[in-house]
Amino acid sequence: MSTELLRYNEPLDVSEINFLRKKVEEERRLYIKVYSILMVMSFLMPFAGAWYRAAGGAQNAFSPIRYFGFTAFLLGVCTLAVLLSYRLYLRKVFLDLKTRTKTIELSHITRKQFMPQNNSYHFYIASTNRLSIEVSQEDFYHMDEGDEVSIEYTTHAKIFLGYF
C-alpha cells in the first residue's frame, strides 16, 4: 500500500456547474442579508449610545458629529469585514466556475465508523483536504480499511462533490 497521494484535475460536469451556480446565488443572498443587518445596526448602535449618554445626564448627548462619525466608523468596519469574507470564500467558487475543473484525489480508508446518533456511515481517509466522508451503507460494508477511495472536490474552493 502506497502512502503517496495521487491527484489530477478533470472538467466539471453540468450538474456540478449548476450546483456551484446555485451555491453562489445562495451565498450572495446571504452576504446581502448580513450586510443589510450590519448596516442597520451601524445606524442604531450610535443612536442607542446617545440615548444611554442622555439617560446618564451627559451634556450634548445627541451630538451629530459623534453620531455620524461613529456610524461611518461602524459602516467602514462592516464593509471591510464583508468584503474580506467575500474575497476569501466566495471568490474561490467563482474561480472554480471560471476554470470549470475539479480535483480527483485517490486516498486510502484509515478507519470506518458508524454514527448511531444520525444513522450515518463514515470513512476516515488519508487526505489533505478531508478528514472523513459520509458514505452509503452498501459502500460501508463493501469496503475495508486500507482500500482505495477516490474523492472529488472543486479545485479552488475545495467543496466536496462526492466519492467513488
Check residue 80 and give its pLDDT.
93
Check residue 3 and give its pLDDT.
52
**Does 54 map to a domain?**
yes
Check residue 4 and give its pLDDT.
56
**Does 78 map to a domain?**
yes
Q: Mark whether 69 and 118 lie in a shared domain.
A: no
**pTM of the complete model:** 0.67
Cell of 40: 442597520
**Does 3 map to a domain?**
no
Check residue 1 and give its pLDDT.
47
pLDDT in tens, the chain (164 residues): 455 568 878 888 898 889 999 988 998 899 899 899 988 988 888 888 877 877 777 777 777 888 888 889 999 998 999 899 888 888 888 888 888 988 888 888 888 888 888 888 888 888 888 888 888 888 888 888 888 888 888 888 888 888 88
Q: Mark whether 68 and 124 lie in a shared domain.
A: no
- Dist CA 24 CA 79 (whole Å): 19
- Dist CA 134 CA 128 (whole Å): 16
- SS3 assignment, position 1: coil
Residue pair 95/12 in contact by the 8 Å Cβ criterion? no
Residues facing 63 on adjacent strands: none
Check residue 29 and give its pLDDT.
92
**Phi and psi for 11 in degrees, rounded to 5?**
-70, 150
Check residue 5 and give its pLDDT.
60
Pairing of strands 148-154, 132-135: unpaired
- Dist CA 96 CA 102 (whole Å): 8
Q: Mark whether 113 and 133 lie in a shared domain.
A: yes
Q: Which domain holds residue 67?
A: 13-99
**Does 142 map to a domain?**
yes
Q: Mark whether 55 and 129 lie in a shared domain.
A: no
Q: How far is CA 11 from CA 51, 54, 56, 109, in A?
A: 58, 62, 64, 25
**Does 7 map to a domain?**
no
Which residues lie closer than 8 Å to 101 by C-beta, 6 or more apart? 9, 10, 11, 12, 154, 155
Q: Mark whether 92 and 106 lie in a shared domain.
A: no
Check residue 11 and give its pLDDT.
86
Q: Mark whether 136 and 90 lie in a shared domain.
A: no
Last residue of a domain, one of 43, 66, 99: 99
**Does 31 map to a domain?**
yes
Domain count, the chain: 2
Query: How far is the first Cα of the chain from the last one, in angstroms, to the nearest whole number?
Result: 19
